[in-house]
A and B are shown apart, each in its own frame.
Chain A
């Protein structure tokens, strides 16, 4: 059973701080990694994707991938109250299925 693990949280950070969200996965053959944001009662929306080891930056968001440690993270700089949501890590193992983690609930306090 391929697994993707996330701390459910809630992770609480003050406005303007860096939020660090972590995800580990079990399948070493995993190829693609995605971070989705989901507001309560809404559908998931893609924030970042990363395929190669290292960092990938997009605005206030940075995804980090370490395949040797089977670890992917998402950093949110200058966190805003509007970033308060559940963040889902997803892993594509073989080009045909996404396995999602349970999500981490982030709360950004003004």
Chain B
């Protein structure tokens, strides 16, 4: 089954404790992206990757890191989480052919930083 998986689905952590949210897709998509979704602010892009070893900042990259060492995986790293990073996070992937095609979203990771 074609899918994007994220782990963990729920996470409660404390300020400053490094964490990683994993994202994996099995569709051989070149493009992968991370979004956060907050009430009233919609979906905002954090980082994206056009292919292996190619990453770039989205609209809200501060406080986040990513890496793309393999085509299928695109982990999101919070080196020192803060309460303002409490949010719902989505990973997405798609093919790229001139422009972005349909993005497939993972199920989401609800993160709470206390």
Interface residues of A (CB under 8 A from B): 8, 31-32, 34, 42-46, 49, 51, 88, 90, 92, 95-103
Q: Is the CB of A49 within 8 A of B43?
A: no
- Asked if B103 and A96 make an inter-chain contact with CB atoms under 8 angstroms apart, the answer reads no
A46 touches B99 (CB 8 A): no
The 14 sampled A-B contact pairs (Cβ below 8 Å) are A34-B102, A43-B90, A44-B105, A88-B42, A96-B56, A97-B48, A98-B100, A98-B103, A99-B45, A100-B42, A100-B43, A100-B44, A102-B41, A102-B42
CB pair B102 A46 closer than 8 Å: yes
Given A43-B106, A44-B90, A100-B42, A92 and B58 contact (CB-CB distance below 8 Å): no
- In the complex, the chain A residue whose C-beta lies closest to that of B100 is A92
A42 to B106, CA, bound (A): 9
Residues of B within 8 A of A46 (CB): 102-103
Q: Chain B nearest CB: distance from A3 CB in Å?
A: 11
Cβ contacts under 8 Å, A42 to chain B: 107-108
Contact B100 A32 (CB under 8 A): yes
Q: How far is the CB of A37 from chain B (nearest CB, A)?
A: 11
Does B111 reach chain A (CB closer than 8 Å)?
A: no
Q: CB within 8 Å of A: which residues of B? A: 31, 33, 35, 40-45, 48, 50, 56, 58-59, 90, 96, 98-103, 105-108
Q: How far is A103 from B40 in the complex, measured between Cα atoms in Å? A: 9
A-B contact sample (15 more), CB < 8 A, given A51-B99, A92-B99: A8-B40, A32-B99, A43-B105, A43-B107, A44-B43, A44-B105, A46-B102, A90-B43, A95-B96, A96-B31, A98-B100, A99-B45, A100-B44, A102-B40, A102-B41
B105 with A98: CB separation less than 8 A? no
A92-B45 Cα distance, complex, nearest whole Å: 12
Rounded to whole angstroms, the CA-CA distance of A49 and B100 in the bound complex is 10
Find chain A residues with CB under 8 A from B106 CB: 43
For B58, the chain A residues whose CB sits under 8 A away are 97
| A103-B100 contact in complex given A43-B107, A43-B108, C-beta closer than 8 Å | no
Indicate which residue in B43, B44, B59, B105 contacts A45 across the interface (CB closer than 8 Å): B105
B57, closest chain A residue (CB): A97
